[in-house]
Every structure is written in C-alpha cells, then in structure tokens.
Amino acid sequence: MKLAVLGAGAWGTALAIRFADQGPVTLWCRDTEQTAEMAREQQNRRYLADVPFPEQLSVTADLGLAIANVDAILIVTPMAGLRPTLRALTALGNQAPVLWACKGLEAGTMKFPHQVADEELATGIARGMLSGPSFAQEVAAGKPAAVTIAASDAEFARSTVEALNTPVLRLYASDDLIGVEIGAAVKNVLAIAAGVCDGLQLGLNARAALLTRGLAEMSRFGAALGAKPETFMGLAGIGDLMLTATGDLSRNRRVGLMLAQGLKLEDILTNLGHVAEGVPTAREVLRQAEALNVDMPITRAVCQLLFDGKVVADIINTLMGRAPRMESEV
C-alpha cells in the first residue's frame, strides 16, 4: 500500500516510519524549513531525534505531491488541524480513503472527527480512525504495540488492517467508530486527572479508584452516543487509558502533574511545548455530557481545575463526598 501521512509531529513521524516497513510512505510537513531539514538529515530531529528514516520514507511540503497516486491517506495532526486538512484534500480533488489519528472533539462544536470528516469529505470516500495505546517514541523505535483501525464500514477496516499490519505494530479492526473516538477523547481527560492524583502523591489505591470510575464515565458517555460496550474493554478504551494515565511519556498526564504543583494552565502549556489534547477536549466532552444528561464527575472536576481556578483540595473533597450508591449506578 502506498500511503501519505499528513503531519510530521512525533506521532505522524513514528507512524510513517513504521508503515514504511510495508510500502512507500510520503510524510507531509507544512513547515518548509523542517521538511528540508528532515530530507537532508533523514530523521525528524525536532520531534524524534536519532531515529533514522527507512528507505521507503520520503518527505515533502507539497500536499498535492504527497497525496498523488496514493492508496490511502492518514491524517496525524492535532484535532484543530483536522478540518483544514480535510478541506485542503477536498480542494485538491482527493478520492483516496482517509484515516485520521486525531483524538478529541472539535473545540466550539463538540463534534467528533468522523462528524467533521462527514462535513468536509465527498460522499463515497472511505474513512476511519487509527487509535490505541501507543507512544510515538516506542513505535518509532520498533518496540511492539497494538492499535485499532475503526470504520463504520467493517470491510474497509479489515482490508486496511491487512494492508498496513507490521511485524511490530499489530493492527485490529473495529466497526465501532464512535466508540473508538470516544475512548481516544475521554482517556486524555482522565489522564490529566491521574496526573493530578500522582502529583499529589495520593497513592496507588486512589489512582486505581480514579481510573476505574473514569472508565465508568467513558462507558456511560459511550452508551449515550450509541457505542458498543466492548470497545471500552479493548485497545481503544481501557488499553489507551491505562497507558496515557500512567506512562511518563504522556503529555496529558504531565499536565495533571503540573496542575498538582499549582502552576497556571498557560504556564503549563508553555512548559509542555506540545499539544495536550485533553485540555480543549475536557470542555467539549463535559458540554456534550451535560446535553445528554450523562454524569461525568471526574471530567467536571478536570474542567474546574483547568478553567475555573478551583483548588485541588476542594475538588478532591467534592469527589470523595459524593453520596454512596451501587457501583453500577450512574
């Protein structure tokens, strides 16, 4: 399969490197200076230093050239970049299938990636999402990982998995696109909460309780939107949640760690230097949950810490002071 990967951050570069094991890959970068540097040095020094590009990986800043005669396109931008990238593809007359690895909801609209794609892509273009527990550095280094490709068209998901599966990046197919998108979005919010928990040294018991109840929130939200319950027990649900909430490479967890230190959000984002999708996503998830009458107390607590200036101690007291109930209840 000839593939175009659009977005030359750490994750886009890692996927481009890995999928080049299976066939020719063109990595598109909108920054012409960075593109020239990558072409010259045959690595992405800015985001994945010392990981050499394989022979079948090329780079370009020309979007039209990147997507010429490809079998599929994989968009690996922040969520904010999905709509403009899709519009650019449509303007170029693209007819190739489109996958995305963008995680979250669109700021201001509460829309999931597939809803954005439905608005921007021509009818008939196959589409889907890649998601799952995976850090870019490890994937690029060839360490074993497994992720999910989800599409409403199950046959498209299966055929894409067969074409892209590699010896070290195992792919699984799913037809629960909304469920996979929900897992990808909500786990980032919960990872911020887990970072706060760890930053305050509340203990392993507290973190286990937090993530278990967080998974319940994710599942309730998913049920209200028509997702399949089993999706949240898989790679795109509990798998991605556990990695993002506990792994030291997680940007969203680092946001929580810095919140626990009392840093302001603008300073946290400056120090981070990368996009932490859980920050804008938290507000959109909570807005949609409230519209659906779905109780998400941990997500609400994260929003209060991020945007309302609430004190961590007060948030903990509120969560722990909730009325006792059956575990299976909302």
Query: Which of 301, 292, 299 has its CA nearest to residue 321?
Result: 301
Residue 44 has φ and ψ, to the nearest 5°, of -105, 85
The catalytic position among 143, 187, 264, 310 is 187
Between helix 82-91 and helix 113-120 the angle, nearest 10°, is 20
Q: How far does the chain reach from its first CA to its final CA, in angstroms?
A: 45
Cα-to-chain-centroid distance, residue 212: 20
Cα gap 139→262, rounded to integer Å: 33
Tokens (6 digits) for 37: 């540097």
Q: Rounded to an integer, what distance in angstroms lies between the CA atom of residue 301 and that of residue 233?
A: 24
CA separation for the pair 326, 12 (Å, rounded): 43
310 token code pair = 């609430």
The alpha carbon dihedral of 153, 154, 158, 159 has a sign of: negative
- Closest by alpha carbon to 176, among 146, 152, 159, 160? 152
Residue 187 annotated among the catalytic residues of the structure: yes
Longest dimension (CA), the chain: 61
| Residue at token pair 């394989």 | 54
User: How far out from the chain centre does Cα 52 lie?
Assistant: 24
Inter-residue contact 285 to 296 (CB < 8 Å)? yes
What are the catalytic residues? Answer: 187
